[in-house]
Amino acid sequence: MLNRFDDEIYFKTVQLEDYDVRGALILGTEKAVIFDTLSRPHDMRDYEKLIGNRELSIIYSHADWDHIWGTAGVNRPIKSIIAHRLCLKRFLHDVPETLQEYQKRQPELYNTVKLIPPDVIFDSELEMDLGGITLQLSHLAGHTVDSIVCFIPEKGILLAGDSLETPFPCINEISQMANWITELEKWKKNTELKTVIPAHGMISGSEIIDNNLHYLKSLLNGDMIEISEPLTSFYKETHIENTALFLCKSS
């Protein structure tokens, strides 16, 4: 599903079993950027007419499969594919291994996927001028070591990837929890931030930062977490896995 946020920003959301994933198209006067190409090449088909004759780049928020497998569906020259340095490193092993698993299990869905790694990498921050719109990319190691976020200061929008999520974030064994919390605390204090666009879950204001911080801190402290809203089976399982991970660490 393609949704218009305003004249410069569009969102593409696709359903994946028991959850959805969201990417974005940002249109400057001179350049365009696709932020995450989602899970399959045909997920990119709605963007072509909107991009027009603008120079196109792609940004990967991180190297998880549901954010990067649609790149081969972009039917035009791509100036650059931008990501964190550790995102490129993941293309050496876990990215192709994950694709092999999915193609074996569901060939009808994923046999058209072609892995296209980033060719412009950075370590900490990178700024892009699209013509009237600025993108400020920042490393935010937490959900994964290669995760980044993208802030659009002219609009007060934070494209959060999986660094923020509703109803709560997904934790991995190698998630850098202390850094994750520290960086989210910084974004919480950013007075320019008005809208948070997570890759999974509802678009909201800064309250999503408060909710995610509360969840992460509660896990770290071993506190009981009460979740009042109904959960899909995916998030029920995710919460169980998140909790079990920290029980193992504390034992």
The top-scoring range by mean pLDDT among 14-18, 77-81, 217-221, 234-238 is: 77-81
pLDDT of residue 151 exceeding 90: yes
Number of independent structural domains in the chain: 1
Tell me: pLDDT of 246 over 80: no
Q: Contacts from 187-196 at CB under 8 Å and sequence distance 24+? A: 187/149, 187/158, 188/213, 192/153, 192/156, 193/151, 193/156, 193/158, 194/155, 194/156, 194/157, 195/155, 195/156, 195/157, 195/158, 196/157, 196/158, 196/160, 196/164
Confidence band of 148 (pLDDT split at 50, 70, 90): very high
What are 1's two structure tokens?
């599903």
- Average pLDDT, integer, range 106-114: 96
Q: What integer best gives the mean pLDDT of the chain?
A: 94
- The greatest distance separating any two alpha carbons of the chain, rounded to the nearest whole angstrom, comes to 57
Spacing of C-alpha 238 from chain mean position: 17
Give how far Cα 187 sits from Cα of 56, 134, 173, 191, 240, Å: 28, 17, 24, 9, 27
Q: What gap in Å lies between CA 149 and CA 120, rounded to an integer? A: 16
Q: What is the pLDDT of residues 193-204, one digit of tens each?
A: 999 999 999 999
- Percentage, residues of the chain above pLDDT 90: 86
- Identify the sign of the CA torsion 80, 82, 86, 91: negative
CATH code assigned at 238: 3.60.15.10
Q: How confident is the model at residue 85 (pLDDT cuts 50, 70, 90)?
A: very high
For 5-61, write each residue's pLDDT tens digit.
Answer: 999 999 999 999 889 999 999 999 999 999 999 999 999 999 999 999 999 999 999
Q: CA 186: distance to chain centroid? A: 19
The domain in which residue 161 lies consists of 2-250
For the cut 90, the answer to whether the pLDDT of residue 222 exceeds it is no
Q: Give residue 251's pLDDT.
A: 45
What would the two tokens of residue 219 be? 């896990």
The answer to whether the CB of 171 falls within 8 A of the CB of 147 is no
What pLDDT is attached to residue 248? Answer: 60
Kindly tell me if the per-residue pLDDT of 132 is higher than 60. yes
CA distance 90 to 148: 14
